[in-house]
Amino acid sequence: MKTKIVIVLLLLGFTCLSGCQDSKTAEQKQENTVENKEEKEKVEMQVYRTPTEKEMEILEGCNLSSDYMKEIQEKGMSVSVQSFVDTAQIMLDYLGEKYEEEFVVKGGEIPGIISGDYMIFAAATTGEYAGERFEVYYRVDEEGKGYCEDGYFAILKSTEMQEYLRKIAEEAGTDIKVVGALSGNVGKEYNKDTNIEEIEELNRKKGIQIYINGYARPDMSEEEFQRQAQELEEKFRQRELYLDYMVFRLVSNEKFDYIQSYKDFGKVFPRGTLVEEIYNMEYYEYLRPEKK
């Protein structure tokens, strides 16, 4: 009899112990659920941020889809979007400080993840080159330091470089009209005060490219065209620069008279124009400094 009573008591004890453990487990699960929910809410608060008016201007300048913009307005900016707009603002501040002008974003692709390097298209809002789009880069060096490079310098200095190239062409005594342009991205050390000699040295280091287009009138003979193009080439070659050198004999005197700058070519001969409607002779050389 005593043995039966002991067994019953033991069973009741195990049942109570199991029930207590189940109760504690349930309470722990509930507590963990509450804690996870609170942690999730904290994470969501950290991940998304409501864009400011200035940040919205940056995003609108990237020409994002209306659905994407609506999602950002309703949900906020994700971490990758925040990183992009923060870096874009750094690039705009860099341009403003370097050139003492106002700039806006005119394009850019937001990466899906946080990246060390970013690129936007920007344009000045005032001045002679307002509206001309160029690239701006934010890069990180080997030491983890960020720095910017921009293409506005090439736009700003192209006219000055063209006048310099024309003087060289005049020295050659040819009838070829010369226009020129720069292309490339440079750092903060190259600005509006940079002179021609410094640009030439930068070109020799392959930091910036110089383009030369020469134009001859339709009535220039083939022999004269070849002779003058070669003479002009030799004159430019003496500068010991990297030069993309092209000369065309145009089919229209009217077009010849119109072209006064490098970008005028695209105006008088829009994309899709047939080659035979533009020129009937061409001369091309890529000039390099002689190895010493």
**Cα(53)–Cα(60) distance, integer angstroms:** 10
Which pLDDT does position 207 carry in this prediction? 95
Q: What is the pLDDT of residues 19-31, one digit of tens each?
A: 445 544 555 555 5
The predicted pLDDT at position 113 comes to 64
Note the pLDDT tens digit of each residue in 73-108: 999 999 989 999 999 999 999 999 999 999 999 999
Q: For residues 90 and 111, is the Cβ–Cβ distance under 8 A? A: no
Q: How does pLDDT run across 123-170, given as a tens digit for each residue?
A: 999 888 999 999 999 999 989 899 999 999 999 999 999 999 999 999
In one letter, which amino acid is 183? S
Length of the chain (residues): 292
Any idea what the Cα angle at residue 43 is, between residues 38 and 44, rounded to 5°? 95
Q: Residue 281 has which token pair? A: 């002779």
Q: Is the pLDDT of residue 224 over 70?
A: yes
Q: How far apart are CA 139 and CA 205, in angstroms?
A: 20
Predicted local confidence at residue 3, as pLDDT: 45
Of the candidates 168, 191, 188, 190, the residue with the CA atom closest to the CA atom of residue 178: 168
CA dihedral 53, 54, 59, 65 (to 10 degrees): 20
> Higher pLDDT residue, 112 or 66?
66
Residue 116 has pLDDT above 60, yes or no: yes
Smallest CA-to-CA distance from 178 within 210, 208, 209, 216 is with 216
Strand partners, 219: none
